[in-house]
Amino acid sequence: MKFRIRRVKRQRKPVRYDVSEVNDQYRVDVKNKFLTLLEQDSEDTTPKELWEDVKHVVNDEAQATNPRQKIMKSPRTSKLRRC
């Protein structure tokens, strides 16, 4: 009997942005792009398409203006103690 071992595909961690210091330029850019999306709103667009547009606007602007959040690793505390 032969078995094949499958590779498990790992999911990528979501990109997290440092939102503690959101600047005014990000707010203005997102607001302007949402206004243009609302103006283009027609009866033919589906909610899924609208969601994709909103997701792209927020991600693009966050990537352009906000820094990524730094992952802080804690020091290992599993060191063995000798008595």
Q: Which of 2, 61, 51, 63 is nearest to 28 (CA)?
A: 61
Q: Which of 18, 24, 33 is nearest to 63 (CA)?
A: 18
Residue with more model confidence, 78 or 12: 12
Query: DSSP state, 10?
Result: P
The predicted-structure confidence for 3-43, as pLDDT tens digits, reads as follows: 888 888 888 887 787 777 777 888 888 888 888 877 776 66
Give domain limits for the chain: 19-65
pTM (two decimals):
0.57
Main-chain dihedrals φ then ψ at residue 15, nearest 5 degrees? -75, 130
The residue type found at 71 is: I
Three-state SS at 11:
coil
